[in-house]
């Protein structure tokens, strides 16, 4: 029911008239908009770890339900068409209802790649052309008759699937190789059939001289045996149909691309030459410590010391010395652990496959310039003919703060500046050294992982930080720092002193709970779910600092407490307001005039509207053992956190100048109310189920579950007429149970 409601609302959402707003409200000329559009690029990165836990089978059914609903809203629909669509809708809903929502076996990296490719097939493949046509239409509506050039890469895609080995032992060099070839095979197949359809459409004979000459050359030089491979247009295409001749050559190349990938997957070799194929991009991602392990093994083997124990300055000096020289660093006699061999074998796969098969080499948990130089050296040592560009991810709070200095150091190195061809603080550093910087926006599905409406996230970026290009992926690690502390530190320099002070308080509050109170992490069961191929922790023996974002955020979302989103924010506001009441007026002014701050406050307010401390209390009562309940003013640690929840909500409302949650968004408020009773039922069932999983001897009867439901239901009865209606329906279901 909840999924169906989401689909219905998606169809009803009106399109945003962005261009008209730019012209009418912001006084931008149509020519300015067109020039900016031609020079922008958004790179959407498909991550290897899904934050979307819904199965592909259900996603496809949901897509068909969405299509049926969209057609039902079409104008001038006939009664017969409506009846057929109603019947189709019923079939799809019934099929979805009877499909198991849970993955019973963990997916492999290959499975994740197939799931990612299904997004292309089901959504992106048709969605992007439709979007580009809509852009052209919107431009016409503001007076621009010229279309966006075909070679303007408004949207492009990259992938981490099969290449992201950040703490995932299942992503081996062999997996990277297989996924790369499998992705190429699947992509070439999709293009193959699209080109064949286009050959039917482009039957015209009239063309310019350049195209006619090219078509004649291809017709003369076409291989005699090429026709054997095709069901359509298998005869030699006459030169009087030049478009079909050109497309026939593209089809040949796509066929060879697919065949070469298939043969390499099956046999490890192929008789199809590489120059007869197309290529695609796949990012590689590895944790910085793994490179340090390899270089430490090398320096130890060379009897020059331990790379791991060297200072950052000595590391840089040695790396640059080796990069400037030509001697090989190691041979087959290098002692290798399984982990070191895995890293080196990955570089050998990069060297083996066509260079255009890969995009960037991404270093997670990067801390310093030596992390980048280390990867550059390893690429050279493993004979990567066309080295990948190296992208450091600075993820911890301290590393983010040190990033400008680290980037400045890299740009000041002649070797590195020549290597990259010299393409708020980072932007200043980039401008100083003449380098164009592309911001990589790591965002999650939930607010605690940087989620929320994408268009708001883009609009709220600081001025001069995007400059026409933005890379977006759905991933971010929330455990290395306070979520609110990090957000506050990364805001603009305006009101910087106040925000710095708030960030320190927020970070201390967050860490005092997360690191000093480990019982506040209800992630045990999520670590065992078959959501993705990666383990729930980067290091099996690690503590909470190595826990991944998905089980951590999902667990707090399920308890309706959303702790990682708001924890620390209330303490920060309270601190600065108690210090000087004028600071509250400053925060209110920031909310009114600063898009980033406003979006942050609005998202936190939305999370409070979704939250319910009473439900969180039920989880505490059932799942936290009594020996962990300390005696305090609040009796339990959970009660103390729930009091913090209420106080933070009050302070957020004061900052926004609101009396009630979501008072500026009544539509969202209504949507949440409609869902609350149903979600509450699921919460109660889940809490008792988790209790029985953890304590098999616990004997729960239906009476206890129904009592909890009625107690929570009675709390909701006074909230609104909509909730009362849902509560009445829920009451009848309880009685029938």
Q: Give the active site residues.
A: 49
Query: CA 506 to CA 484: how far, in whole Å?
Result: 6
Strand, helix or coil at 155? strand
Q: Which residues of 260-271 are buried (b: 16+ CB within 10 A; e: fewer)?
A: bbbebbeeeebe
**Nearest in space to 594 (alpha carbons), one of 446, 425, 461:** 461
Q: How far is CA 709 from CA 57, 324, 685, 714, 725, in A?
A: 32, 70, 9, 9, 16
Query: CA 711 to CA 604: how far, in whole Å?
Result: 27
Query: CA 508 to CA 168: how far, in whole Å?
Result: 30
**Helix, strand, coil proportions of the chain in percent (round to 5)?**
60, 5, 35
Q: Residue for token digits 């309940």?
A: 629
Query: CA 636 to CA 652: how far, in whole Å?
Result: 25
For the chain, the straight-line distance linking the first and the last C-alpha, in angstroms and rounded, comes to: 18
Contact by Cβ (8 Å): 241, 201 = no
| Token digits of residue 272 | 């199809």
Ramachandran category for residue 631: left, alpha or beta (phi over 0 → left; psi -120 to 50 → alpha):
beta
**Nearest in space to 48 (alpha carbons), one of 265, 281, 283:** 283
Query: CA 240 to CA 234: how far, in whole Å?
Result: 16
CA atoms within 13 A on the CB side of 669: 12
Query: CA 284 to CA 391: how far, in whole Å?
Result: 10
Q: Residue for token digits 């945003």?
A: 16
Query: CA 158 to CA 155: how far, in whole Å?
Result: 10
Triad 566, 571, 576: Cα angle to 5°: 125
**Nearest in space to 359 (alpha carbons), one of 453, 438, 293:** 438
What CA dihedral angle connects 534, 538, 542 and 543, to 10 degrees? -80
Query: CA 269 to CA 235: how far, in whole Å?
Result: 30
Q: Residue for token digits 């974002």?
A: 549
> Residue length, the chain?
737
**Nearest in space to 352 (alpha carbons), one of 240, 256, 247, 264:** 264
Query: CA 149 to CA 564: how far, in whole Å?
Result: 44
Handedness of CA 205, 206, 212, 214 (dihedral sign): negative
Contact by Cβ (8 Å): 378, 291 = yes
CA atoms within 13 A on the CB side of 373: 26
Contact by Cβ (8 Å): 572, 508 = no
Query: CA 734 to CA 521: how far, in whole Å?
Result: 31
**Nearest in space to 619 (alpha carbons), one of 642, 603, 643:** 642
């Amino acid at each position: 029911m909840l999924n169906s409601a989401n689909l219905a609302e998606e169809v009803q959402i009106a399109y945003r008239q962005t261009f008209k707003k730019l012209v009418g409200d912001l006084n931008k000329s149509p020519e300015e908009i067109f020039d900016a559009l031609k020079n922008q690029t958004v790179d959407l990165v498909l991550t290897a770890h899904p934050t979307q836990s819904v199965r592909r089978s259900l996603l496809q059914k949901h897509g068909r339900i969405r299509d049926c609903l969209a057609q039902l809203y079409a104008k001038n629909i006939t009664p017969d068409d409506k009846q057929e669509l109603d019947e189709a809708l019923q079939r799809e809903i019934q099929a979805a209802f009877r499909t198991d929502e849970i993955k019973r076996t963990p997916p492999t990296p290959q499975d994740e790649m197939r799931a990612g490719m299904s997004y292309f097939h089901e959504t992106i493949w048709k969605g992007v052309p439709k979007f580009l046509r809509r852009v052209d239409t919107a431009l016409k509506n503001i007076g621009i008759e010229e279309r966006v050039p075909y070679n303007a890469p408004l949207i492009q895609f990259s992938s981490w699937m099969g290449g992201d080995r950040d703490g995932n032992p299942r992503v081996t060099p062999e997996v990277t190789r297989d996924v790369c070839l499998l992705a190429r095979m699947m992509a070439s197949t999709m293009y193959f059939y699209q080109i064949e359809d286009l050959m039917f459409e482009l039957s015209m004979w009239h063309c310019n001289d350049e195209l006619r000459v090219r078509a004649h050359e291809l017709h003369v030089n076409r291989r005699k045996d090429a026709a054997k491979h095709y069901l359509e247009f298998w005869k030699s295409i006459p030169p009087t149909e030049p478009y079909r001749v050109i497309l026939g050559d593209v089809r040949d190349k796509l066929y060879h691309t697919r065949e070469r990938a298939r043969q390499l997957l099956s046999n490890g070799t192929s008789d199809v030459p590489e120059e007869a194929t197309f290529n695609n991009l796949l990012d590689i991602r590895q944790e910085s410590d793994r490179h340090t392990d390899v270089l430490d093994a090398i320096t130890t083997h060379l009897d020059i010391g331990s790379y791991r124990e060297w200072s950052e300055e000595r590391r840089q000096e040695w790396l640059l010395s080796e990069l400037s020289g030509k001697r090989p660093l190691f041979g087959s006699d290098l002692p290798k652990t399984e982990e070191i061999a895995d890293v080196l074998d990955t570089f050998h796969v990069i060297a083996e496959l066509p260079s255009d098969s890969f995009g960037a080499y991404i270093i997670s948990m990067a801390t310093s310039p030596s992390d980048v130089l280390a990867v550059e050296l390893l690429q050279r040592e493993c004979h990567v003919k066309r080295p990948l560009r190296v992208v450091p991810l600075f993820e911890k709070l301290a590393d983010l703060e040190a990033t400008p200095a680290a980037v400045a150091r890299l740009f000041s190195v002649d070797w590195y500046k020549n290597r990259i061809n010299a393409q708020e603080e980072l932007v200043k550093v980039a401008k100083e050294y003449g380098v164009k910087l592309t911001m990589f926006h790591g965002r999650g599905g939930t607010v605690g992982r940087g989620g929320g409406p994408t268009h708001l996230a883009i609009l709220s970026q600081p001025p001069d930080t995007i400059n026409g290009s933005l890379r977006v992926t759905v991933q971010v690690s929330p455990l290395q720092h306070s979520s609110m502390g990090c957000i506050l530190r990364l805001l603009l320099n305006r009101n910087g002193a106040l925000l710095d002070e708030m960030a320190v308080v927020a970070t201390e509050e967050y860490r005092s709970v997360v690191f000093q109170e480990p019982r506040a992490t209800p992630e045990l069961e999520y670590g065992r779910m078959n959501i993705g191929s990666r383990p729930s922790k980067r290091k099996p023996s690690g503590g909470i600092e190595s826990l991944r974002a998905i089980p951590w955020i999902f667990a707090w979302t399920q308890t309706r407490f959303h702790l990682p989103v708001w924890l620390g924010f209330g303490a920060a506001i309270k601190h600065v307001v108690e210090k000087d009441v004028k600071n509250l007026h400053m925060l209110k002014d920031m909310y009114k005039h600063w898009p980033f701050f406003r979006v942050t406050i609005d998202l936190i307010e939305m999370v409070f509207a979704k939250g319910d401390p009473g439900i969180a209390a039920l989880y505490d009562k059932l799942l936290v053992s009594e020996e962990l309940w300390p005696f305090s003013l609040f009796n339990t640690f959970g009660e103390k956190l729930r009091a913090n929840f209420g106080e933070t909500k009050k302070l957020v409302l004061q900052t926004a100048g609101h009396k009630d949650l979501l008072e500026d968004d009544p539509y969202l408020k209504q949507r949440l109310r409609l869902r609350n009773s149903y979600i509450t039922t699921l919460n109660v069932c889940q809490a008792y189920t988790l209790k029985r999983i953890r304590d098999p001897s616990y004997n729960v009867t239906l009476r206890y579950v129904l009592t909890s439901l009625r107690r929570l239901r009675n709390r909701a009865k006074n909230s609104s007429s909509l909730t009362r209606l849902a509560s009445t329906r829920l009451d009848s279901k309880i009685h029938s149970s």
